[in-house]
Amino acid sequence: MSSLEKPAVREDGLQLEEHRRFQERFWTIERFSWGIFALIIFAALLGAFGSGGPLATKVSELDAAIVEHPRIGRWEGTDEMTIRFKSDPATEAHSLFLSNAFAEVFQVEDIQPLPARTLIEGGGQQLFFDNPSKSGGVVTLHLRAQAAGPAKFDVRVDDEFVSLSSFIFP
């Protein structure tokens, strides 16, 4: 049978054995972890992990329109892509081309306003809007991401191409 040793009596009168150096290192690591968690929460509030916030969306300005699309999204999460046409009153019809790479990543659940007609081409689909100025010149595509990871796709508004990219978190 082994005998238990009594801890030494400290200067303050307590008979307590502690590993002070270990405890101080643990406190330092704990405070550092609090800082890391605070940074993660701040990044999430800014939209670094999708679902809203200034970092979650990207705005691309073209001659014909302003395209706002999800820069960071979530797999199976809903997002919006907004096209604001810079239309003059003489131009009443606009077209929007979405590449096949766009269709591989995003499922279009709804389009407001609905396009007047749709043309399927070899590289993607083209949507035609007769008079989007009735809705303020804004077309909104409600999207659901179908694949996780980085995505690059092309969009053409009227006759102007732009390459866009998104990152979809699982």
According to the model, what pLDDT value does residue 7 have?
75
- Which tokens in the block code for residue 106? 């995003």
Residues in contact with 84: Cβ distance below 8 Å, sequence separation at least 6, in sequence order: 65, 66, 68, 137, 138
Q: What is the DSSP letter of 49?
A: T
* CA angle in degrees (0–180, nearest 5) for 77-125-108: 20
According to the model, what pLDDT value does residue 164 have?
92
| Second-level CATH architecture of 57-169 | Sandwich (2.60)
Query: Per residue of the chain (170 residues), what is the pLDDT tens digit?
Result: 567 777 778 777 777 777 778 889 999 999 999 999 999 999 989 888 877 778 888 999 888 889 999 999 889 888 999 999 886 655 678 889 999 999 999 999 999 888 989 999 888 999 998 876 666 788 999 999 998 999 999 999 988 899 999 999 98
Q: What are the structural domain ranges in the chain? A: 57-169
According to the model, what pLDDT value does residue 20 have?
79
According to the model, what pLDDT value does residue 134 have?
66
